[in-house]
């Protein structure tokens, strides 16, 4: 088994989720110069580093979780505590976030994409590619050998024992399934190259409102939305592991064998039919005109792939027709003697772009190496930008912490001096205390008058000491010379001069 280098071009946005929805305790949306971005955040690290644990405990301990979400959004530094960043395409997502962040009744759930846990880059897993190929192969086996898989499907849509038994006859049991001879590696996008869009359900009936709630979802960049080719690279291996020269997928006890390019042709036929039917059923309708226009950019690629190319549909919102075999009409309820129609809606990114269309093609060693080098350069640049941002943010935080510590130290020293002064003043006599405060300009005007009036009750030495202090005080205040004094003040000055022997 030898691996073939494969180029995966993403034609329309692909959403492959993690199976869980995130709320604003796991993400923050910021409005930035080039538009709003959604940051996946490390909330535990932020909580651990927070300079005021008591404040956090108080906020998190209340019942108003919406207020806590708002506090996180306003105070968490995304340069320090984000794992990844995705651009928000739909203004509706940002507006809803700002409007409902403080709403206790709105969870503001989003559906993140599957990512590499180390690099945080979006992943298209090989299993999704393999599953799409398997669907086309099973469809071929069903109509070629009259397996009647649809007839063996249970009424609730599940696969019963008879269905599984029939598949095992042509593919083998799960542990030894023929598809073990098809290995597909993961395809990893450039770091932070993902987008959030609304997932809007649109009906064939333009008057019908579709209220099925769907969370905003994270998607790949794509040719339809970015207006240029978006390519990832990976590997595919076909054939038995112990047979290097036999690059063939064999099924149904070796009755059917496909080389890679033959397998590509099989998939192109399966998905081409579905693309064309969906276009006719939905996008030919007037209210889908915008979708029909944007699809012109990929019509030729999907409907007329070249040799060595394979068109598939993968991920969420790929719709039942592309994910199951032909004649897959579900058992819908009977109404007025007729079965209700199925497949009457499409879910579109931002109400315009169909999800999930991709093209795989064989690429050269040179193309593959060039992609890996470009991705490495990009990811290192992004990582360095994060590290530089973190460094600057940490330096700013450390400078602020240092400044706050200095303020706290000065405050503590001032409080200690104040306490010491208070103790010293308490130990003084009334005269000494008043004299002390007068020298430091700490007495109010009426207290100065009271201090002057108390001179008459003092002994000679104490009287002179206090009179000298009053002289200095009034000189500083400009109340010592006759021309600057009121009559009352001049009388006081004369009294002080008399005590000091200056008259």
**Could you tell me the two tokens for 363?**
């690429």
Task: Please check whether residue 261 lies inside any domain of the structure.
Answer: yes
Same domain, residue pair 399 and 352: no
pLDDT at 501 over 80: yes
Q: pLDDT value at position 149?
A: 79
Q: Are the C-beta atoms of residues 43 and 81 closer than 8 Å to each other? A: yes
Q: pLDDT value at position 384?
A: 82
Same domain, residue pair 355 and 496: no
pLDDT at 176 over 70: yes
In terms of Cα–Cα distance, which of 42, 23, 38, 33 is closest to 94?
38
Same domain, residue pair 410 and 318: no
In what side-by-side order are the strands of the sheet with 217-220?
27-32, 35-41, 82-88, 194-197, 217-220
Same domain, residue pair 274 and 353: yes
Q: pLDDT value at position 431?
A: 87
Angle of helix 487-500 relative to helix 445-453, nearest 10 degrees, comes to: 50
Say how far apart CA 498 and CA 15 lie, in whole Å.
98
What does pTM read for this prediction?
A: 0.78
Task: Please check whether residue 324 lies inside any domain of the structure.
Answer: yes
Range of the domain at 490: 430-500
Same domain, residue pair 191 and 207: yes
pLDDT at 334 over 70: no
Same domain, residue pair 273 and 207: yes
HEC states along 210-228?
A: CCCCCCCEEEECCHHHHCC
Q: pLDDT value at position 289?
A: 96
Residue 170 pLDDT class (50, 70, 90 cuts)? confident
Longest dimension (CA), the chain: 134
Q: pLDDT value at position 208?
A: 81
Q: pLDDT value at position 336?
A: 62
Residues 6+ positions from 220 with CB-CB distance below 8 Å: 10, 13, 14, 15, 113, 122, 124, 189, 193, 194, 195, 230
Share of the chain above pLDDT 70, in %: 93
Gap between the terminal Cα atoms of the chain: 120
Task: Please check whether residue 312 lies inside any domain of the structure.
Answer: yes
**Cα separations (Å) of 89 from 13, 115, 400?**
12, 19, 35
Task: Please check whether residue 344 lies inside any domain of the structure.
Answer: yes
Of 340, 363, 386, at which residue does a domain stop? Answer: 363
pLDDT tens for each residue of 186-230 = 999 999 999 999 999 999 988 887 767 799 999 999 999 999 999
Residue 313 pLDDT class (50, 70, 90 cuts)? very high
Strand 194-197, strand 82-88: pairing:
parallel
Q: pLDDT value at position 163?
A: 79
Q: pLDDT value at position 138?
A: 92
Task: Please check whether residue 186 lies inside any domain of the structure.
Answer: yes
Q: pLDDT value at position 153?
A: 65
Task: Please check whether residue 202 lies inside any domain of the structure.
Answer: yes
Highest mean pLDDT among 27-36, 99-108, 295-304: 295-304
Residue 355 pLDDT class (50, 70, 90 cuts)? very high
Of 316, 341, 363, at which residue does a domain stop? Answer: 363
Who has greater pLDDT, 443 or 341? 443
Residue 282 pLDDT class (50, 70, 90 cuts)? very high
Same domain, residue pair 421 and 435: no
Q: pLDDT value at position 332?
A: 59
Task: Please check whether residue 27 lies inside any domain of the structure.
Answer: no
Task: Please check whether residue 66 lies inside any domain of the structure.
Answer: no
pLDDT at 371 over 80: yes
Of 332, 363, 394, at which residue does a domain stop? Answer: 363
User: Please, is 241 exposed, middle or buried when counting C-beta atoms within 10 Å of its C-beta (0-12, 13-18, 19+)?
Assistant: exposed
Same domain, residue pair 404 and 453: no
Q: pLDDT value at position 437?
A: 87
- The count of domains in the chain is 3
Same domain, residue pair 422 and 443: no
Same domain, residue pair 216 and 346: yes
Highest mean pLDDT among 11-15, 438-442, 472-476: 11-15
Same domain, residue pair 449 and 420: no
Q: pLDDT value at position 49?
A: 83
Say how far apart CA 248 and CA 238 lie, in whole Å.
6
Task: Return the sign of the alpha-carbon dihedral for residues 485, 491, 492, 494.
Answer: positive
Who has greater pLDDT, 156 or 367? 367
Same domain, residue pair 333 and 448: no
**Measured at the alpha carbon of residue 95, what is the angle toward residues 91 and 98, in degrees to the nearest 5?**
145
């Amino acid at each position: 088994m030898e691996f073939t280098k494969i180029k995966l071009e993403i034609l329309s946005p692909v959403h492959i989720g993690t199976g869980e929805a995130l709320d604003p305790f796991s993400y923050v949306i910021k409005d930035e110069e080039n538009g709003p971005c959604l940051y996946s955040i490390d909330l535990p690290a932020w909580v651990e580093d927070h300079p005021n644990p008591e404040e956090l405990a108080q906020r998190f301990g209340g019942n108003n979780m919406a207020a806590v979400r708002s506090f996180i959004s306003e105070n968490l530094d995304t340069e320090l505590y984000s794992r990844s960043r995705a651009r928000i395409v739909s203004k509706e997502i940002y507006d809803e976030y700002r409007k409902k962040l403080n709403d206790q009744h709105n969870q503001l759930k989003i559906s993140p994409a599957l990512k590499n846990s180390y690099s945080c880059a979006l992943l298209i897993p090989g299993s999704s590619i393999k599953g799409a190929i398997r669907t086309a192969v099973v469809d071929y086996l069903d109509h070629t050998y009259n397996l009647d898989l649809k007839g063996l499907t249970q009424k609730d849509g599940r696969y019963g024992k008879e269905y599984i038994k029939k598949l095992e006859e042509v593919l083998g049991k799960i542990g030894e399934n023929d598809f073990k001879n098809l290995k597909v590696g993961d395809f990893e996008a450039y770091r932070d190259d993902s987008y959030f869009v609304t997932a809007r359900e649109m009906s064939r009936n333009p008057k019908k409102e579709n209220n099925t709630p769907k969370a905003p979802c994270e998607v790949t960049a794509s040719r339809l939305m970015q207006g240029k080719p978006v390519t990832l690279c990976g590997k595919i291996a076909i054939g038995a592991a112990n047979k290097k020269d036999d690059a063939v997928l064999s099924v149904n006890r070796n009755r059917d064998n496909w080389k890679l390019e033959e397998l590509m042709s099989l998939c192109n036929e399966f998905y081409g039919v579905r693309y064309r039917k969906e276009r006719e059923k939905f996008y030919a309708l007037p209210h889908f005109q915008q979708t029909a226009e944007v699809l012109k950019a990929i019509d030729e690629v999907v409907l007329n792939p070249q040799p060595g190319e394979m068109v598939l549909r993968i991920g969420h919102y790929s719709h039942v027709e592309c994910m199951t075999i032909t004649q897959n009409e579900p058992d819908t309820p009977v109404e007025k003697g007729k079965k209700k129609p199925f497949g009457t809606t499409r879910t579109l990114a931002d109400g315009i772009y169909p999800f999930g269309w991709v093209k795989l093609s064989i690429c050269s060693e040179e193309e593959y190496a060039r992609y890996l080098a470009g991705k490495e350069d990009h990811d290192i640049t992004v990582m360095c930008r994060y590290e530089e941002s973190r460094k600057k943010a940490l330096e700013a935080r450390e400078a602020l912490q240092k400044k706050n510590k200095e303020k706290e130290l000065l405050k503590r020293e001032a409080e200690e001096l104040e306490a010491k002064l208070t103790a010293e003043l308490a130990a003084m006599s009334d005269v000494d205390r008043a004299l002390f405060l007068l020298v430091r300009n700490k007495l109010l005007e009426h207290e100065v008058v009271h201090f002057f009036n108390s001179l008459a009750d003092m002994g000679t030495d104490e009287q002179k000491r206090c009179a000298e202090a009053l002289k200095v005080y009034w000189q500083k205040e400009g109340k010592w010379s006759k021309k600057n004094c009121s009559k009352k003040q001049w009388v006081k000055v004369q009294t002080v001069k008399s005590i000091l022997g200056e008259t």
